[in-house]
Amino acid sequence: MNYRSEATYKETRLPVELASTLIADAYRSDAYFEEEQQQLFATGWVTVATSAEIQHPGQAIVRDLGGRSVIVTRNEEGELRAFLNVCRHRGSRLLAEDCQLRAGRIRCPYHAWAYDLDGACIGTPLFEGSDIPEDMRAAFDMGDVKAFDRDDYRLFGLSVREWGPLILVSLQVDPIPLEQWLGDLPERLGGYSLASWEVQAGKVYDIAANWKLITENFMEYYHLPWVHPELAKVSRIQDHYRYQGYGMYTGMTTTPISGDNPAWLALPPHSGVTGHDLKAGRFMLLFPNAALSVLPNHLFLMILDPIGADRTIERTYLMTHPDTMEGPGAGEALDELMGFWDHVNLEDVDIVENVQLGISTPEYQGGRMCYRFEEPVHRFQNMVIDRMVGLDRIPEGDAVDQVPMFGDRPGT
């Protein structure tokens, strides 16, 4: 099967009321996964971490992206930098895991070539702080090597940007501007001042399921009554709306937020949240791999790292604005809130792992979309198809701010 051909996806390209889901190979085939890494994760912008994980010069994280290992750090001025995790000498991997860089330098474990936090080659291997004994240094001096200019051996730099609490990286030499990728999402979430929110808790899940099953599960509420009876009390099916603008994201909202579950509303709202945002939950999937559940008083963030066709690492973060943590009992409320999200997330893990088992059945080739319930999933799947077939397209949004999922719709 040609995974880069439009004809492969003709049933999913239909309007949602007629469409079928993505082909089953998209979730179970190793060959599809490898092509997806190149067509999707090696193009555009991908969320790799939160700003809180790299706050100071010399802090470094290591992530897999599009089949490459990537280093993200901050230079001495606090500016973000990203590089391919490969030495320019003999190609050794430079860092094995997240770390605080020694003396603010990235040093190769093989032959001790060193690079500064802007990626410049500063030693080969004689440099300040070298461990080579004085009586041996002459043998390592490359000062007289012909046609060798350290400027020609900088680390391979990558585009890296921050938006809100997120750090995004692109492997492309000349990526689409991040502002176009985000579209109107910064405006829609502007009242929350998310860049000021702090990570309070988190957990990492190792999930035996394709990453797209996790994102699609996040984007639809069809399963709530059966999988999440507690969540359905504060995010009722009849209170869901499509909340979709221009940009590489899918969005829906729940309004009003019910008070039947005290954990969700235990903390006071951020003082900057006003108007309709005070009674709404915003659920945004920033393509391809960052899921944001934005409430007036907290953000639950999920960042997905695809490991294989049937395995995903999910990093979760519970974030609040500092002013929501000032009152008495904030710590206990936070613990209750994290317990609530962990419970909900474990329910999702169980169901998507179950779907992975079922979707691996050879006879299954895809299913029919459920109109209205799965519109955000349909939008996401068509963004996947766009990248797989090589289309650089950013979808448009709705003409009205909130489209009801039930009852009469504008223009219908």
Q: Which tokens sit at 132?
A: 């080579």
Q: Which tokens sit at 321?
A: 């604005």
* Full-model pTM: 0.90
Domain boundaries along the sequence of the chain: 6-43+184-404, 46-159
Instruction: Measure the CA–CA gap between 122 and 151, rounded to whole angstroms.
Output: 9
Asked if residue 217 lies in contact with residue 373, where contact means CB atoms within 8 angstroms, the answer is: no
Instruction: Measure the CA–CA gap between 291 and 227, rounded to whole angstroms.
Output: 19
pLDDT-derived band of residue 130, with 50, 70 and 90 as boundaries? Answer: low
Instruction: Measure the CA–CA gap between 401 and 294, rounded to whole angstroms.
Output: 17
Instruction: Measure the CA–CA gap between 241 and 171, rounded to whole angstroms.
Output: 34
Confidence (pLDDT) at 138: 53
Q: What 8-state DSSP symbol labels residue 2?
A: -
Tens digits of residue pLDDT in 94-103: 999 989 998 8
46-159: what CATH class? mainly beta
Tens digits of residue pLDDT in 309-322: 999 999 999 999 99
Confidence (pLDDT) at 411: 47
Instruction: Measure the CA–CA gap between 352 and 356, rounded to whole angstroms.
Output: 6
Instruction: Measure the CA–CA gap between 261 and 232, rounded to whole angstroms.
Output: 10
Instruction: Measure the CA–CA gap between 318 and 301, rounded to whole angstroms.
Output: 6
Q: From the CA atom positions of the chain, what is the Rg in Å?
A: 23
Tens digits of residue pLDDT in 132-191: 565 555 555 555 555 557 777 899 999 999 999 999 999 999 999 999 999 999 999 999
Q: Tell which residue, 142, 197, 208, 137, has the closest CA to residue 166.
A: 197
Q: Which CATH architecture has domain 6-43+184-404?
A: Alpha-Beta Complex (3.90)
Helices (H), 4-133: 25-28, 30-36
CA 133, chain centre distance (Å): 45
Tens digits of residue pLDDT in 51-80: 999 999 999 999 999 999 999 999 999 999
